[in-house]
Amino acid sequence: MRNFHIDIAPMALGTLLLGLIWVVNGLNPEMPDRMILSGVYNVLSVIVPIAILILGLSITINLIVRILVKVRR
């Protein structure tokens, strides 16, 4: 568990990046071919990015806290 933050840091950054990309895509969706699934897609495009962002932020905050605790010791 000593190098835990080294293993999970890329995952946290990737998760944050994925969430941000999804949110930016959701702000300007240009997909006329998916009009049938637009209702489902709209709901998912609101819920999923928020969940991804919360997950990424929680991982990142957890990392920062762990690193600060290690620095203080």
The per-residue pLDDT for range 6-60, each reduced to its tens digit, is 566 677 777 777 767 766 666 555 555 555 556 666 777 777 778 878 888 888 8
Mean predicted confidence (pLDDT) in 56-70: 86
Q: Where are the alpha helices (DSSP H) in the chain?
A: 4-27, 38-72
pLDDT at 3: 55
pLDDT at 8: 66
pLDDT at 49: 75
Give the residue among 14, 24, 13 at the shortest CA–CA distance from 49: 24
